[in-house]
Amino acid sequence: MTNAPAAKAATEIAAWMNALGVDVHALAARMSLLWADRPRPLSITPGDIGKLEGLAREFLETHGFVVGAGVIFATEAIRSSEGGLEWWIKREHTVEKLEFDLTPGGERFYDYQNMPFFASASRTGEQTAWGPYVDYLGFDEYILTHSAPIQLDGKFAGVAGCDIRIRKLEEIFMPVLRAIPGDAALLNGSGRVVVGNSGAYLVGERIRTIPGDKELIPIDVPHLGFSLLTGR
C-alpha cells in the first residue's frame, strides 16, 4: 500500500507542475498570435521581437521562481535564417536578452534544434521538461527547462518555454518531500533525480533500478514523465 504522505506529496507536486504547464501553454498560445493574418512562413520584424520580449518579461515578472523565458521557432515556421531563438533571462535587477551563437560550426554554437526541450516537443507535439542539465553555451547554469509547443492550425511552429534553476526547484519541492518519512526523490522522465529529501538520492544521479523496498509513484502531469521514488 502506498504511503499516505508520499501520495500527498505526489499530488501537490503534480498540481504545481500542472499550474506551470497551463501558464507555459498560455505563453505559447499568445506567441502563436504573431502569425495571425500574416503570410507564412513569417518574416520576423523588430516589432515582433518587441512583442515577444514583452511576453517573456511578463512571464518572468509573474513567475518569481523562473529565471529565463522565451521562444524557439521551427525553421519551417519563419523566413529568416537567423533569429530562431529568442530568450530573456533575469539578472540581478534587470531582464536581458540572452545572446547565442546560432551559426553551425561557430565558436560557441548552441545547437538548440537538437536540445531535448525543442526536439522532443517537435517530435511529439506535446509539452516537455528537460533537466537537470548544465546549459553550457546557453545560460551556463544548472537548470530545468519546461516547454510547450506553439501550434499553428495543428502544425508545430516552435516552442515557448521557461528555465528554472535547480537550486530553486530544491527550495520549492523540499518541504513536500521532507514530509515523506524515509528517503524519497522526485525523478524526471529519464529516471534522473531532480530533488531528493536526503543524501541518499542526489540531484543529477540516474536511478537505474528501483530498490526492493521502494516504489515509483507517477506524478500526474501529462507527457512530462516525472515520478516520485519512495518507500513502500
Partner 1 sequence: MPRLQLVLSFHAWSLFLAPTTAFQAHVYRSLPETERSEAIVNRISKAISLGLLKVGERLPSETALSEMFGVAPSTLREALSDLRDQGIVATRRGRSGGTFIVKQPFTSADVMKKWFRETSIAEIRDVGDEHAAIAAATVRLACERAEPHEVGRLLELARGLVMSDKPEARARADSRFHIELAVLAQSPRLTNAEIRLQAEIVQALWAPLPVARDPERVAAEHLALARAIADDSAEDAQRLVLEHIRHDVHHLVDTKLSLGYPADEQEQP
Q: Which of 92, 153, 199, 209 binds partner 1 (CB under 8 A)?
A: 92
Smallest CA-to-CA distance from 28 within 129, 139, 112, 151 is with: 151
**Contacts with partner 1, 206-225, as mask; x by CB under 8 A:** x-------------------
C-alpha–C-alpha distance, residues 61 and 130, integer Å: 22
Map the footprint of partner 1 across residues 175-194, applying CB under 8 A: 190, 192
Tell me: does residue 99 bind partner 1 (CB under 8 A): yes
C-alpha–C-alpha distance, residues 177 and 179, integer Å: 5
* Residue 125 DSSP symbol: S
- For partner 1, the closer of residues 54 and 204 by Cβ is 204
C-alpha–C-alpha distance, residues 42 and 154, integer Å: 16
Tell me: does residue 76 bind partner 1 (CB under 8 A): no
| Piece of the chain touching partner 1 by CB under 8 A; list 14-22, 135-143, 214-222, 223-231 | 135-143
Tell me: does residue 91 bind partner 1 (CB under 8 A): yes
Q: Tell me the one-letter amino acid at 118.
A: F
Distance of closest approach, residue 206 Cβ to partner 1, in angstroms: 6
- For partner 1, the closer of residues 25 and 223 by Cβ is 223
Number of residues that bind partner 1 (CB under 8 A): 27
C-alpha grid cell for residue 39? Answer: 503570410
Distance of closest approach, residue 138 Cβ to partner 1, in angstroms: 10
Tell me: does residue 142 bind partner 1 (CB under 8 A): yes
- For partner 1, the closer of residues 81 and 114 by Cβ is 114
- What radius of gyration, in Å, describes the C-alpha atoms of the chain? 19
C-alpha grid cell for residue 125? Answer: 507535439
* Residue 79 DSSP symbol: S
Tell me: does residue 30 bind partner 1 (CB under 8 A): no
C-alpha grid cell for residue 10? Answer: 505526489
Smallest CA-to-CA distance from 17 within 206, 228, 178 is with: 228
Q: How many DSSP H helices and E strands does the chain contain?
A: 4, 10
Helix (H, G, I), strand (E, B) or coil at 176: helix
| Piece of the chain touching partner 1 by CB under 8 A; list 20-28, 121-129, 147-155, 204-212 | 204-212
Residues that bind partner 1 (CB under 8 A): 91-92, 96-101, 105, 107-108, 111, 114, 116, 132-134, 136, 140-142, 190, 192, 203-206
